[in-house]
Amino acid sequence: MNNARDRVVQLVGRGWDQVKGSLYRNAIFIMLTSVISSGLGFFFWLVIGNAYDKNDVGSAIVLFQTLGFIGTLGSLGIGVGLIRYLPETKDQTALVNAGLTISGVVTLVLGLAFLALLPLVLPNLAFVLQFPLYIATILVATVALGLAPTLDSTSIAARRAELQTWRNTIFAFLKIPLALGVVAFLPGRAGVFLSLSLAFGVSVVVLGVWLLPRAVPGYRPRPEFRIERVRPILRFSLGNYVAIVISAAGSLLPTPLIYDVLGPIQGPPNAAYFYIALIVASLLYIIPGSAFTSFYAEASQKNMDRRRGERDATLLSVGLLIPAIAAMWFFSGPMLRLFGDPAYADQAVTPLRILSFASIPVFINGILGTRVRVRKRTLPLIISATIATVITLGLGFVLLQNPDLGIDGLAYAYVLGQVAATPYLYYEAREAFDAVPQEPLLGQPPLE
């Protein structure tokens, strides 16, 4: 009896030590970030769904999602490189500022190009060019969306993922009163878009100016145009950047695709239905995403037991994901009915249930993709992201035109895209961490 009790106490103590460890601590904060953001975002869309017409909601979502994709283009994937290399760097302040400067300039240029090409690529959104306030807000929002991944990744690399939590909390809280306030002065599409953009911009400024100096010793935000600061990580970052951009196309462009395929009448409401289903289903995706992002940050540290870290991240994901999938399936209808308009529950419940099953391949791909990143290999990430995105958008384009499927077909295409990438990733990452390349510290001479 005493032996059994001692064993239980030992197991509990070991489990508590793991929870207190930096891997679980960072993972929990990253999950908390997404839960707060998605949870309050869920409430935000409840407010929006009851205060605005669903056609206006759909148009605003398409615009903000498109800018999110442009922001991803402008980020150049530097955030992923910072997670891998910042712990090895002596002058961390210069490296972070150089990454932010390059991302900001590139994103601004892409934002201007988007405005110039808008009548051609998304003619149904060309109305924004008629209002100077829209144009200015689009540029500011695009730059903020491009800087956010670099700032968030810097927090994770510094093992201070709670700063990312604070940024997302500010964004999530602030957009609700802004939406309620703006609706009195700018009803329709402008109100929804401006509330999202202003709240996001404020959250980025707070993280970059006030919170990040608490994580990186001596950090002060300032322009840094010496590209040689980031040149050692640029090749790694650009490879990941291509993979991130391709992957972002699969998650951010389905709503513009709906808008384009279904036209100006059916497109906006169906974009709103699909987006609501996707953000609710994304509550499941954050579990493996957070666990393996934290593991990636830990695996980039010296003397890390990568096998044990992967096992801990896997156990954390499985323990949370299984009950979460069951809860999502059974309570999807009641959750969607909270949006007031019965059409949300009628039209979004099936896509939501379909999308919830994508969390299984997302989990498996998270394990395999992290192995590839730790080895500093990017081509497998690019190929797997291409497989997933081509199937999501290509098959989704075909199935959207089927009147019996519509956005349900797009949800099936999203799941199949994730599943199709798994065999290739498994082939590339089936061996664990037997041969992670050893590289010199940034700014240090090569090892002899």
Q: Could you tell me if residue 434 is inside a domain?
A: no
DSSP 130: G
State both tokens at 377.
């290999």
443 CB contacts (<8 Å, ≥6 apart)? 89, 90, 91, 232
Residues 6 or more apart whose Cβ sits within 8 Å of residue 364: 422, 425, 426
442 domain residue, yes or no: no
Looking at residue 361, its pLDDT comes to 92
**What whole-number distance in Å separates Cα of residue 99 and Cα of residue 205?**
16
pLDDT tens per residue across all 448 residues of the chain: 545 444 544 444 444 444 445 556 666 666 666 666 666 666 777 677 666 777 777 778 888 888 999 999 998 888 877 877 777 777 788 888 888 999 999 999 999 999 999 888 878 777 788 888 888 989 999 999 999 989 988 887 887 867 877 888 888 788 878 877 766 666 556 677 888 888 899 999 999 888 888 878 778 888 888 777 777 677 767 777 888 899 889 888 898 899 888 887 888 889 888 988 888 888 888 778 777 777 776 666 666 667 777 787 788 888 888 888 888 888 888 878 776 667 777 888 999 999 999 989 988 898 888 888 777 777 888 899 999 999 999 999 999 999 889 999 999 999 999 999 999 999 988 765 544 444 333 333 332 3
Rg of the chain, C-alpha, whole Å: 22
CB 446 within 8 A of CB 428: no
Domain count within the chain: 1
Chain-centroid distance of CA 429 in Å reads: 23
User: In angstroms, rounded to a whole number, what is the distance separating the alpha carbons of residues 336 and 353?
Assistant: 12
Q: In this structure, is residue 60 part of a structural domain?
A: yes
Q: Is 222 part of any domain?
A: yes
For the entire predicted model, the pTM comes to 0.71
Could you tell me which of 166, 160, 147, 31 has the C-alpha nearest to residue 83? 160
The answer to whether residue 7 is domain-embedded is no
Residue 371 forms part of a structural domain: yes
Domain that holds residue 260: 20-429
User: What residues have CB less than 8 Å from 130, skipping those under 6 apart?
Assistant: none
Residue 1 falls inside a structural domain: no
Predicted pLDDT at 304: 62
Interhelix angle 342-356/306-337, rounded to 10 degrees, is: 160
Within a domain: 138: yes
Q: In sequence order, what are the residues at sequence separation of 6 or more whose Cβ sits closer than 8 angstroms to the Cβ of residue 278?
A: 251, 254, 351, 355, 414
pLDDT at 448: 30
